[in-house]
Amino acid sequence: MSAPAQERRTGDLGPAFAAVRVRLGLVAALFALAAVSWWWTGRQMRGMDQGAWTGLGTLGWFLGIWVVMMAAMMLPSVAPTVALYSRMTRQRSPLSPLLFAAGYLVTWAGAGLVAFTLSEIVSGFSGDALAWDRAGRWVAGATLVVAAAYELSPSKDVCLGKCRSSLGFLLGAWRDGRRGALEMGVRHGAWCVGCCWALMASLFALGVMSVAWMAVIAGVIAFEKTVPWRKVATYGTAVLLLTLGVLLFAAPDVIPALTVPGAGQMDEMEPMDS
């Protein structure tokens, strides 16, 4: 098997996982930061899940929550790449890999700003059109179906290849110095946004303030980036998203952990009608 074919088959996961074993302290620190981010996010978002298209609050509040959310969701899956960068760089300062991770989160902060801006524009033009009992349910279902289709697109395949092929990305985007570490993190984050934007849109459709759905999407992202069977990961994700989209159209009540706006009020009214 040729080298390019072998790289495509394995996703170049071997060097990254080998670096994890060498840089266990760094990886442990990233996982610890992710764990603290999960804890903090859970506290801040308690009781705020209103299902599909939950309001995002003010820009400052949302961006703060979003960046911590991205640290919680993304740091575990990007840790092998950070570890490989740490092993390859000539600078043995612990600051360089942290700057790489910071650059990665900066890109996701930019994606959050775009999401907030789009939300404000849509809300300004449509008013309450995205309410659950109007178009919200159907737009949420359609978002998941589109996300499923994107999983099988050439664009997804290219971006996922960059995310999985840590060695190839680092060799092709290498920059020396601390500024270079930050720039490489930003570039790697851009490929990750290209890979995962549809999954993040699905999170908005299912409930962006839901810790349970955060965990599901984070698990799917880690699954796609780290399992050896790339096609199994993408097709499996597409099936999951398509199933959730169809259920949103047909029977949203059967989806676990999904907050259906108004369902609680209806349950409380039923005894009064009997």
pLDDT for the residue 11? 47
- Res 265: pLDDT: 44
DSSP state of 208: T
DSSP string, 68-100: HHHHHHHHHHHHHHHHHHHHH-S---THHHHHH
User: What's the confidence (pLDDT) of residue 230?
Assistant: 87
Helix (H, G, I), strand (E, B) or coil at 83: helix
Distance separating alpha carbons of residues 86 and 94, to the nearest angstrom? 8
pLDDT at site 15: 84
pLDDT for position 264: 54
pLDDT of residue 53: 85
For residues 75 and 103, what is the distance between their CA atoms, to the nearest angstrom?
Answer: 12
Low-confidence ranges of the chain (pLDDT < 70): 1-12, 262-274
Q: How far apart are CA 98 and CA 86, in angstroms?
A: 9
Give the pLDDT confidence score for residue 133 in this predicted structure: 83
